[in-house]
A and B are shown apart, each in its own frame.
Chain A
């Protein structure tokens, strides 16, 4: 089943490290901004729209992941 993993941007490297450790180095990942509690509602909406587009693109396979270097 196609899937995309959402992670907070601060932990993007961690997500990629774990993905590689689990044998799924091309796991589709979309990073979301951290510290949403400090963002305005408008900023959150903009970020959510952007993330939504990325999620759809990755589900469609039109934005392939770059494998993490060993």
Chain B
């Protein structure tokens, strides 16, 4: 007999069949369209044992439904996503981050923009959970990367109420709305890790949530000269349809491989130097925009030379190191614009 805990959540009974459980979950709109792991009492109980938290405790309320993200409900979604119990502390910290007003989760849940949360993990937890920070870091194959990212989406759906079509008005969406979770390659990068840059200790384990609206690969192979490399990267960041440009704000994110960071280091560039050089290369005349697309907020974000950039300051460019060692490809991750990344410490004891 399973653990007879008194549950806050309703118990729904189906025939003892994986197919029946999945059909019911899908029909009730509880899934992302993929099969789920049925959140049985036994599985959820096991998930809850990994976090030293009161299951009934409310971690945060998530918009737009103002759903109470209790530890129990987070655990249920974690089971559905296929998470191992050890991943639960990461998700709890992720929910805390998503609920911070500066992220603008409400906007992200309801917009016509394709934006979805990108989860970046730093610190010892990455190794402890066997996360991927290297080759194919954004691709399939790693259970922690895949299921943590998936659970974040299920939490937004089932607790926050971001129901596709009904509330989530993304015109097209993008595949990262299913899963977008990476670990930073702190070991091979020579740049300061994201969480240290944002005020945490290297030995802290953290989760950073970014309002990401897609990825653009930038081929940087054969670009040994740093200025040439950053010129090509800046070209990718300077696209007219970017929310970062249209709002002239936010924190456009750049994923560089350890190889890029090594090239930059050899040329005498720190992470901050790189941001400043990119800033100088970014931007194009506001007058290039069709008049019907120009908005007052863009005028305000334009400098005295009439140039608009995808962010207000060089420091607002986020740089994270991930992927395989070679400096052949970088990834530009534009953001929703009206969103600011949030980093939270994971209650991780190792």
Give A residues with C-beta under 8 Å from B.
10-11, 13-14, 17-18, 20-22, 37
Contacts and interface: CB of A to CB of B under 8 A. Distances in A.
Contacts of A10: 112, 169
A17 B165 CA distance: 13
A17 B65 CA distance: 6
Interface string B42-65: 000000000000000000000111
Interface residues of B, number: 11
B110 interface: yes
A25 B167 CA distance: 16
Contact of B110 (A11, A20, A37): A11
B65 to A, nearest CB: 5
A37 B292 contact: yes
Contacts of B259: none
Contacts of A13: 166-167
Contacts of B66: 18, 21-22
Nearest to A22: B66
A36 to B, nearest CB: 13
B110 A14 contact: yes
B161 interface: yes
Interface of B: 63-66, 110, 112, 161, 166-167, 169, 292
A18 B266 CA distance: 53
Nearest to B167: A14
Contacts of B63: 18, 21
Contact of A17 (B161, B169, B292): B161
Nearest to B61: A21
A11 B111 CA distance: 9
B93 to A, nearest CB: 24
A13 B166 CA distance: 6
Q: Which 8 A-B pairs have the closest CB atoms?
A: A21-B66, A14-B110, A13-B166, A18-B64, A14-B167, A17-B64, A21-B65, A10-B169
A17 B112 contact: no
Contacts of B112: 10
26 contacts: A10-B112, A10-B169, A11-B110, A11-B169, A13-B166, A13-B167, A14-B64, A14-B110, A14-B167, A14-B169, A17-B64, A17-B65, A17-B161, A17-B167, A18-B63, A18-B64, A18-B65, A18-B66, A20-B65, A21-B63, A21-B64, A21-B65, A21-B66, A21-B161, A22-B66, A37-B292
A22 to B, nearest CB: 7
Contacts of B64: 14, 17-18, 21
B160 to A, nearest CB: 10
